[in-house]
Chain A
Amino acid sequence: MQLQLMPRNRQKKEQRKQHKSNNMNKEWPIWEIFIRSKNGLEHRHCGSLHAADEDMAIQNARDVYTRRQEGVSIWVVESKHITASNPEKNGEMFEPAADKVYRHPTFYELPDEIKHM
């Protein structure tokens, strides 16, 4: 309805925008895929893929990432649910650990004769 009141070129633009957003809604969401290569090891991120829902994401992950027995277990998480740290703030995030050598065993000087330590 609103469209009728707009100048014609603007109208077209709006229609295109709407058309585009309708199509965009249809695009399947992105899922992040985590695979456990064998029991005893952790799941590791291996990539991402598109799927309509979680069942399809697991099936697609099976086909895309485990064709050569690379896994015994798959986790899928929709990408939008992942919160990531901001790399621009890496300084304040990770630098405080840089000057704390005393957190490492080699910081402590002991005589060579000491065993089992």
Chain B
Amino acid sequence: MENKTLSLEEQFQNRIDSGENIEAKDWMPEKYRKTHIRQISQHAHSEVVGMLPEGNWISRAPSLRRKVALLAKVQDEAGHGLYLYSAAETLGISREELNEQLNSGRAKYSSIFNYPTISWADMGAVGWLVDGAAIINQVMLTKTSYGPYARAMVRICKEESFHQRQGYEIMLSLCNGTEAQKAMAQDALNRWWWPSMMMFGPRDEDSPNTEQSMKWKIKKKTNDELRQQFVDQTVPQAEILGLTIPDKDLKWNEERGHYDFGTIDWDEFWDVVKGNGLMNEKRLKDRNEAWDEGKWVRDAASAYAEKQAEKRAKKTA
């Protein structure tokens, strides 16, 4: 028995090593399944909760052009949540359980959404930095070993690039505007820079799951590699805007061919992860309210479907 399990796991690892994708009905180690359920559902929850800080600004967008774009972006995020929930469900967890995990506060989602969006410039900074960071992670995940997750990521990446561009365009408009508008943009960058850097997770040496995740090709790059990529591509974008990244240690390192940057406040990182962020409570409350207030719609749809089914049954009888 012991031998057989071992050989199944070896076979599984061989498939991964040779670049094969794993599909829903294939044999997989229980830990691979559990890790994926956790990671995909956290990712889905992040898309869903990610709608809240932006939904806040839809009715206050400064023009119709900005409003339709933001509305479309938020709608995409609902869609991305749905793709990812479906991918998680292929691993044997129900949508009901997933909802319950989010609404009860047991599940985690990206800490970035526990920061407040207090000015219109935040919509620019979120699109530019938060979506920018998310895209780096998600592009990597299009090559992840689990087929349904990888396919969801391909779809998401295709849609996501407009999100970042619309955010950057907002920043650009503000930076080409009045002094007060440019100050708004700088203020948003100041507040969102470090939380965006934290989105890649703890340093490699503090990330105990990284090794196994790399072995199973759940991740193909480490947190620190992705974070470096983010810094390298974002610094020139900030220069074009004429904004200053709030890190006095940030400078080009000729030898490494990368930017050096300052130390992240890991105490803040862990504090927000543990639920002490400014908006943790509010997000969960809003999420639960939305769920409860939608109940009559779900019930009505179920009742209507039942009635239609009965009618059809009568007709054929």
Residues of B within 8 A of A47 (CB): 83, 86, 151-152, 155
Which residue of A26, A46, A52, A64 is within 8 Å of B304 (Cβ)?
A52
Q: How far is the CB of A51 from chain B (nearest CB, A)?
A: 8
Which residue of chain B lies nearest to A68 when distances are taken between CB atoms in the complex? B159
Which residue of chain A lies nearest to B303 when distances are taken between CB atoms in the complex? A52
Chain A's interface size range is 20 to 34
B232 adjacent to chain A (CB < 8 Å): no
Query: What number of A-B contacts does a CB cutoff of 8 Å give?
Result: 52
B301 adjacent to chain A (CB < 8 Å): yes
A24 to B23, CA, bound (A): 26
Which residue of A23, A52, A63, A88 is within 8 Å of B96 (Cβ)?
A23
Which residue of B23, B27, B159, B301 is within 8 Å of A52 (Cβ)?
B301
B25 close to A87 (CB less than 8 A): yes
Q: Which residues of chain A in 43-62 are interfacial with respect to chain B, using CB atoms and an 8 Å cutoff?
A: 46-50, 52-53, 55-56
B79 adjacent to chain A (CB < 8 Å): yes
A48 close to B302 (CB less than 8 A): no
Q: How far is the CB of A88 from chain B (nearest CB, A)?
A: 7
B176 adjacent to chain A (CB < 8 Å): no
Binary flags per residue of A10-35, CB closer than 8 Å to B gives 1, else 0 = 00000000000001101110100000
B75 close to A67 (CB less than 8 A): yes
A55 to B311, CA, bound (A): 15
Which residue of chain B lies nearest to A29 when distances are taken between CB atoms in the complex? B305
B23 close to A50 (CB less than 8 A): no
A64 close to B95 (CB less than 8 A): no
Taking Cβ atoms with an 8 Å cutoff, the residues of B that contact A are 23, 25-27, 72, 75-76, 79, 82-83, 86, 89, 94-96, 151-152, 155, 159, 298, 301-302, 304-305, 308-309
Q: Which 9 A-B pairs have the closest CB atoms?
A: A52-B305, A53-B305, A52-B301, A48-B86, A87-B26, A87-B25, A27-B96, A64-B79, A52-B302
